Structure 1
Amino acid sequence: MPFIIGTPIPDNKILVQSVSHIYGIGLSKSKMLCQRAGFGDDSRGLNVTPHKSKFLENLMDKSNLLLGADLRRFQNDKIRKLYTIMTYRGLRHKKGLPVRGQRTHTNAKKRAHFNTNVS
């Protein structure tokens, strides 16, 4: 089972779907990357050799996108910055409530319910 950017690629799954499981890559970007790497539409994880996997990783690096753990870290840093400057959005994130103006009178009860560190 090959790993690409820390994400396992299952042997029996179609490669385009497996590559789209990498955090930050959607289905359309996955199709484009697989075509550039020379994989067909019906390629599976078994067809990925270490050389091809390295080539696919190099294509992803050249795309200048944040992927995987780097993207998660970037997003968490942005949210943490909202906490520190005490914005409304930061406080909503911290309390585990909806951030983008959704109503809480009848909906969004589970989001606050499952948050254990409400302050």
Structure 2
Amino acid sequence: MEDLTAKVHNIVAESLDIEVDEVSDDSLLYDDLDADSLDILDMNYQVRKAFGVEMAVAHIQRHFEEAGIRWLDEYGGVTDEGLATLNDFMPELDDGRISAGDRVENVFVVLKVGDLVALLQRALDENG
């Protein structure tokens, strides 16, 4: 896992054009590291190139689709069912960062770098 963590930290730093020592597992992608949606796309591309799997967006979306769960309501708020499913799928998010009703158009807004490592590890485990 340490090697995976270091690789993810390097991908994040490269995508954001910052020094790797500015990246920690507790860094919030958007609030702490000033990532935007294009940066996230670049990170996903780099992860796919390095590991052959999708990073969080496709992985999380597929999980919701397979479970038949609607993550957001018609107003962009997190549904109770969506929150329960997300917390089940990503227990690291069950720390109060997201509450039912919160407007979270993009789950990356609340993700920390360490969450990406955990998601990538799950994707790698699932793909054997």
Do these two structures clear the TM 0.5 threshold for a shared fold by scoring above it?
no
Larger relative contact order (Cα-Cα within 8 Å, sequence gap ≥ 6): 2
Answer with 1 or 2: which has the greater Rg. 1
Q: Which has the higher helix share?
A: 2
